[in-house]
Structure 1
Amino acid sequence: MGPIVPPSPCRAEIDLGAIEHNARVLARAARGARVMAVVKADAYGHGAVPVSLAALRGGADALGVTTIAEAVQLRDAGIDAEILAWLFGVGDDVGVALEADVDLAVPSPGHLDTVLDAARRTGRRARVTPKIDTGLARSGITLDEWPSLLDRLVAASDEGLIEVTGLMAHFAHADDPGNPVIDQQVDRLHACVAQARARGVRCPVNHHANSAATLTRPDDGFEMVRPGIALYGLNPVDGLEAELVPAMTFSAEVLMVKRIAAGQGVSYGHTWHAPRDTTVALVAAGYADGVWRLLSGRLDVSIHGRRYPNVGRVCMDQFVVDLGPDPGDSVRAGDTAVLFGTGSDGGPTAAEWARTLGTIHYEVVTAVRGRAVRQHVLGARHASGGQREGSL
């Protein structure tokens, strides 16, 4: 037996108990509507398969992904829940999705052509969700295209090529609950559903609500909600009271601790000089792992529940924090520095990073990459109780 390879000093711990808890919170907020847990982009960087299973345990009814490859990954893992994929090319062969019982969004007339071709070739009826552009002006069937496309949906349904599961759309301003565009978009999707039903297309399960709308607009009248970021415990609306628990804790090992003299410059370019004799620690994570270089001199880490500031530039693999002139033995090599987590002990959070960077916490958690090893923990302590039992 050869030597054991040391573990990565940089890791992202995913609390599946928090995922399950957040799914329950969202199911309650949905007030009887079904819940589609959005697990695209490897579950926002949290791990698609274990997160999907946790979300289903917490009360989710279906799973939403972007690509067909993401959907097939879940099927290959043995997940048999309803799955919807909503981004593929008009030149793609989507037969593999039909063979895997994956529902497909239809965002344009060309995409309908693609799906109908696959249905004819495979002999399998496609379950489709026409996507309406109610105002985001991104992907989606325009309101001008909708009447003629509805004619084609009726004909294809009568031919047995497709089953229309419902209509879907994406909000433009759901994180701004008072924005009047939201009501316009809701009204437009309801109108399209009514038109389809008048033509005999039942559209049993329609959905517009993302995380923000799930938590702030429970009375929109659609049969399903489609939350993403809230599933991971990140609040979609600033100031909104929600019992969400962040699921990801991003941390790295302290590799060394050393004294430096007053005036000593630290890291590339010596952008920071020690104002007095002090002690610094080297943390084993950098921009190749998801610690943005733009955070240089603007982030804190938490070690043993105490915050310490980064000094000097964040490097590809490491950065430095200032422990102060007399830290004693409070920090040692081998300790864990939490870069962001739940914030329950006053430590840094993904939302804090997002504010500093001028971005959104979606981008922060999905940017954790490279050598950051994901550890999925079952039963971690969170708002709804429970104890950490082990890891996957």
Structure 2
Amino acid sequence: MNETPASPGTAHLRARAEIDLAAVRANVRSLRSHASGAAFMAVVKADGYGHGALPCARAAVEAGATWLGAATPHEALALRAPGSGVPADVRVMCWLWTPGGPWREAVEADIDVSVSGLWALEEVTAAARLAGRPARVHLKADTGLGRGGCQPTDWTDLVAAALRAEADGLVRLVGIWSHLACADEPGHPATTDQLTRFREMITAAEARGVRPEVRHIANSPAVLTRPDSHFDLVRSGVSVYGIAPSPALGTPADFGLRPAMTLSASLALVKRTPGGHGVGYGHRYVTPGPTTLGLVPVGYADGVPRQASGAGPVLVDGKLRTVAGGIAMDQFVVDLGGDEPPAGAEVVLFGPGDRGEPTAQDWAQAAGTIAYDIVTRIGGRVPRVHLNESPDGAGAPSPAAGRERGGPRDGSDAPARPEDFGASGTP
């Protein structure tokens, strides 16, 4: 089986994560079809689950998303920054606040904020006074996840305080929301219990005068499998990037989804070794006989999980291979069984699976984790190369410079510059 060459201008890179934005658009359209009666939020937290927040946000909006979700306020502010490419009429929401956060900046940037307790309401109302405009607030109910959100026993007090702030012109109560704990486990009773509690807490708030624009609780698995959870707005995260929320629910193809990320590297060295040759720290692998070894120049510093040592699958020269021995900080080895692909040959760690390459789920299984963890952990040393940036498919791939996972400090999606790479093409 012959591998398709890497995209023009990227094959020289030590490693690259190619992100197919056409797949992101198609995934959003497919997800919207599962919840056609609700508005759609694409969650782009954690740098778009490792895929690049701004390019993926723009692609999601082009496919019909009218909301974008972020965990931290700084992620949300980057979506509102000049030059982000996010239209002003797209709502942006963030929910992971701590005391002393940039509440005023968020209010001034027209970002929707989540409030789970009285301390947060006090801080956002103070920010609204300073900003001279009301804050758009979503009250979060803890319906059973046990993380953020207001407990039912404290709900009445929070709602009453929020209504007083609204009467003072300091907030607009635009949303009531919650988050599901077990929607990725088919038939789990906790999902139905949470939906019942959510309806009760909505009813209690509305009885006191709250008139929310949106009520929302559905995450990716609930969007796909629980239409009774869709309410006014659904929030899809990992499924936007073509990953099924859990193997128990089905494969991406079962839901019309396509994985958007392909992680690959350039083979650094191929050499012949005798039998009985130790490989890597601790000699956790010893060659069973004369063979060839291939050096793959990525490791756990790049986000390749060390837990997949001896088990991680890769596609080299059209053949599936397995990590031989331990995954080190910057590299790992595969036993090529006597084959001698040239240095520079493409090694595909995971992708959509079209060419027989492993998927992120395959790596999750090898590492004893979940596919979310595999894609979000890919580090800043690995350039993101965004394909199909134009909705019509026009335009060349644009490699984003190696960066911290939170994106560039100015919030832009700056392409790589020649000076960002050494003579070898390695960032």
Instruction: Please tell me the TM-score bracket, short chain as reference.
Output: over 0.9
Q: 1:275-305 deviations in whole A, cap 9, x for unaligned?
A: 1111111111111101122211111211233
Q: 1:139-172 deviations in whole A, cap 9, x for unaligned?
A: 1111011111111122111221111111010111
Aligned to 1:357: 367
Q: What is the distance in 2 between the residues matched to 1:57 and 1:248?
A: 19
Q: What is the distance in 2 between the residues matched to 1:220 and 1:171?
A: 10
Residue ranges of structure 2 left out of the alignment (5+ in a row): 1-10, 399-427
Report the TM-score when normalising by structure 2.
0.85
Aligned to 1:40: 45
Equivalent pair of 1:249/1:342 in contact (CA under 8 Å): yes
The question of 1:309 aligning with 2:314 is answered no
The 5 Å alignment of 1:219-368 reads 219-220=228-229, 222-238=231-247, 239-240=249-250, 241-325=254-338, 327=339, 331-368=341-378
Equivalent pair of 1:93/1:114 in contact (CA under 8 Å): no
Structure 1 position 346, deviation (Å): 2.2
Greater mean deviation of Cα atoms: 361-370 or 302-311: 302-311
SS of the residue corresponding to residue 304 of structure 2 reads: coil
Structure 1 position 309, deviation (Å): 1.9
Aligned to 1:371: 381
Q: Which amino acid letter does the alignment assign opposite residue 132 of structure 2?
A: G
Equivalent pair of 2:73/2:102 in contact (CA under 8 Å): no
Structure 1 position 312, deviation (Å): 2.1
Q: What is the distance in 1 between the residues matched to 2:171 and 2:380?
A: 41
TM-aligned CA distance change 1:208 to 1:367, over 3 Å:
same
Please, what is the CA RMSD of the aligned residues? Answer: 1.8
The question of 1:87 aligning with 2:96 is answered yes
The question of 1:14 aligning with 2:19 is answered yes
Structure 1 position 198, deviation (Å): 2.4
Equivalent pair of 1:128/1:162 in contact (CA under 8 Å): yes
Equivalent pair of 1:377/1:388 in contact (CA under 8 Å): no
Q: What is the distance in 1 between the residues matched to 2:376 and 2:30?
A: 22
Q: What is the distance in 2 between the residues matched to 1:86 and 1:119?
A: 17
Structure 1 position 387, deviation (Å): 6.7
Where in structure 1 do 4 or more consecutive aligned residues deviate above 4 Å?
385-389
**1:97 aligned to 103, 106, 115, which one?**
106
**1:139 aligned to 135, 148, 154, which one?**
148
**1:204 aligned to 213, 216, 224, which one?**
213
SS of the residue corresponding to residue 342 of structure 2 reads: coil
Greater mean deviation of Cα atoms: 220-229 or 188-197: 188-197
Q: What is the distance in 1 between the residues matched to 2:394 and 2:290?
A: 40
- Percentage of matched positions with identical amino acids: 44
Report the TM-score when normalising by structure 1.
0.93
Structure 1 position 306, deviation (Å): 1.8
SS of the residue corresponding to residue 236 of structure 2 reads: coil
Q: What is the distance in 2 between the residues matched to 1:281 and 1:57?
A: 42
Q: What is the distance in 2 between the residues matched to 1:207 and 1:348?
A: 35
TM-aligned CA distance change 1:57 to 1:78, over 3 Å:
closer
**1:52 aligned to 54, 57, 76, which one?**
57
SS of the residue corresponding to residue 343 of structure 1 reads: coil
Aligned to 1:108: 117
Greater mean deviation of Cα atoms: 73-82 or 109-118: 73-82
Q: What is the distance in 2 between the residues matched to 1:161 and 1:78?
A: 29
Greater mean deviation of Cα atoms: 190-199 or 208-217: 190-199
Greater mean deviation of Cα atoms: 230-239 or 139-148: 230-239
Q: What is the distance in 2 between the residues matched to 1:31 and 1:359?
A: 32
TM-aligned CA distance change 1:321 to 1:93, over 3 Å:
closer
Structure 1 position 317, deviation (Å): 1.1
Structure 1 position 107, deviation (Å): 1.2
Equivalent pair of 1:20/1:57 in contact (CA under 8 Å): yes
SS of the residue corresponding to residue 230 of structure 1 reads: helix
User: What is the total number of aligned residue pairs between the two structures?
Assistant: 380
Equivalent pair of 2:12/2:266 in contact (CA under 8 Å): no
TM-aligned CA distance change 1:372 to 1:275, over 3 Å:
same
Residue ranges of structure 1 left out of the alignment (5+ in a row): 1-5
Q: Which amino acid letter does the alignment assign opposite residue 306 of structure 2?
A: R
The 5 Å alignment of 1:156-195 reads 156-195=165-204
Structure 1 position 386, deviation (Å): 8.5
Q: Which amino acid letter does the alignment assign opposite residue 96 of structure 1?
A: E
Q: What is the distance in 1 between the residues matched to 2:22 and 2:396?
A: 11
Equivalent pair of 1:299/1:309 in contact (CA under 8 Å): yes
Structure 1 position 196, deviation (Å): 2.2
Q: What is the distance in 1 between the residues matched to 2:97 and 2:228?
A: 31
